[in-house]
Amino acid sequence: MLAVHFGAGNIGRGFIGLLLNQSGYHTTFVDVNGEIVDLINEKQEYRVVLADQTKEEVSVTNVSAINSMNDPEKVIDAIVKADIVTTAVGPNILPIIAKSIVAGLRKRVAENKKDLSIIACENLIGGSTLLKNSVYEGLSGEEKGEFDQYFSFPDAAVDRIVPNQTNDDKLMVTVEPYYEWVVDQSMIKGEVPPVKGVTFVDDLTPFIERKLFTVNTGHAIAAYLGYHAGMKTIDEALASNEIKADVEHTLNETGQLLVKKYDFKMDEHKSYINKIINRFLNPYITDEVTRVGRAPLRKLGANDRLVSPAKQFSEVVGGKPTYLAKGIAAALKYDVKEDPEAVEIQELIHENGLKQAIYEITALQEGSKLVDLIIEQYELLGNRK
C-alpha cells in the first residue's frame, strides 16, 4: 500500500508517518524542504522517540520523499498510485498543495478511476473540506461529478504535541506519548483506509471542537500570556501560578460550552482538561511559546480556538467569556518580529486603531459586546515584561 503524505515536518514524521508505517504503508513524503527530502531518500528510515521516562525509540522504515519544487511530475504520479493521501503542512499551505493534488486526481481519473481518501491533518475545523474546496476551484462541472464519484475528503482531528526539534539527527522526532487521530467516516466513499490508531466516527464535530477548544485553546492561552510575561517556553509559562490559573479558567469557560453543546459529562470533561494540562507540563518536552503562538492571525480567526468559543460562550452558556477575552487580548499584543502574522496584526492596530483591527481580524461585528470585553482586557494587560 502506498501513502502520499504532504509535509515531512514535526507532525508529519512524528505522528502521521509513524502510524502509516505501523499500518503497513510505504509512505512517500512530499515537501519543499530539500534537506529533509534528501535525508529521507538517503536514509530511508528515521527514528521517533517518546518524550517520557522510557525514551522508547521506534524506527519508521519504508519511506521515501519527493521535493515538490523540483519534481512536480513525480508528485502527480505518486497521487495516481496512492492508496491514501494525507497532509500536515499548516492550514495556509493547503491551497498551494491543492494544485498538485488536482493534477494528480485528474490523471487518476484518466488512468485508473480508483477511490481515494485525502485527509488533511491540520488544526482547524473542516480542514479536508477546505482542501477539497481549493481542489474543486478550477474544475469543470463534469470533472466535479467525476471527482465526487471517486474521491473523499473526510475531515479529521489530530492530537499529539510535537515541539520544534533540536536533535543532531535532523530526521529524528521527539513526540509526546499521547495521540489521537479521529476521522469522519461518514464522509468516506468506498473502503475506509486501514490505518491503525485512527478512530473513525460518524460525526466529527464534537471531537474537533473538544480538541481545538481544549488542547489548542489552553495551549494558545499559555503561549500568548507566557510571551506577554517575557517567558520562552510553555512549561515556564505554566510554572507561573497566575498563568496556570488563567489557562484553567479559560478551559472552564470552553468546558461549560462543550458540556452544554454536546451533552458531555462534566466530570469526564474535567478529567480531559486535567489530562491536557498535564500534557502541557510534560517535563520531557520543551515547547517554545513562539511555536505554540505561531500564526496569530489564523488563531484569532472567527472559527478558530479563541474567538469561536468566546462567541459561542455568550450565545450558548450566557455571560461573559472573560478569560477567553483575556487570551484574545494577549494574542493581539503578540508582537514577535519573526512571525509575519504577528507583524501584520501590529500594523493593523497601529494603522486602524484597536477596535477596527479587532473587527477585521476576528470578523466580529460592530456592537459586539465581546469586542468591548477584549478591549477592556487589552487595557488591563498593559505592557509586555
**Does the protein bind ligand NAD through residue 158 (CB under 6 A)?**
yes
Residue of 1, 23, 26, 32 interacting with ligand NAD (CB under 6 A) = 32
- Nearest approach in angstroms of CB 150 to ligand NAD is 23
Is 353 annotated to bind ligand? Answer: no
8 annotated as ligand-binding: yes
Site for ligand 44H contains 215 (CB under 6 A): yes
29 is in an annotated binding site: no
For cell 515584561, the residue is: 385
Q: Which of residues 224-243 bind ligand 44H (CB under 6 A)?
A: none
Which of ligand 44H, ligand NAD, none does residue 83 bind (CB under 5 to 8 Å by kind)?
Answer: none
Give ∠ CA 256-272-251 in degrees, rounded to 5: 40
Alpha helices in 195-240 (DSSP H): 205-211, 217-228, 234-238
Angle at 247 between CA 242 and CA 250, to 5 degrees: 120
Using CB under 6 A, pick the residue from 16, 60, 161, 361 that binds ligand 44H. 161
Q: Do the Cβ atoms of 151 and 26 come closer than 8 Å?
A: no
Output the smallest distance, CB 377 to ligand 44H, in A: 21
Give residues with Cβ within 8 angstroms of 361, minimum separation 6.
297, 300, 301, 332, 345, 348
Q: Collapse the DSSP code of 338 into the 3-class scheme (helix H, G, I; strand E, B; otherwise coil) and give the result.
A: coil
Number of H helices, E strands in the chain: 19, 12
Which residues are 2's β-sheet partners? Answer: 26
Among 142-150, 157-165, 265-273, 363-371, the segment contacting ligand 44H (CB under 6 A): 157-165
Residues 284-303 contacting ligand 44H, CB under 6 A: 292, 294-295
The one of ligand NAD, ligand 44H, none whose footprint includes residue 290, by CB under 5 to 8 A per kind, is: none
Pick from 86, 87, 123, 282: which binds ligand 44H (CB under 6 A)? Answer: 123
d(CA 86, CA 74): 16
CA angle 28, 126, 279 (to 5 degrees): 75
Residue from 49, 51, 78, 89 in contact with ligand NAD (CB under 6 A): 89
Binding residues: 3-14
Q: Which residues contact ligand 44H by CB under 6 A? A: 123, 159-161, 215-216, 219, 292, 294-295
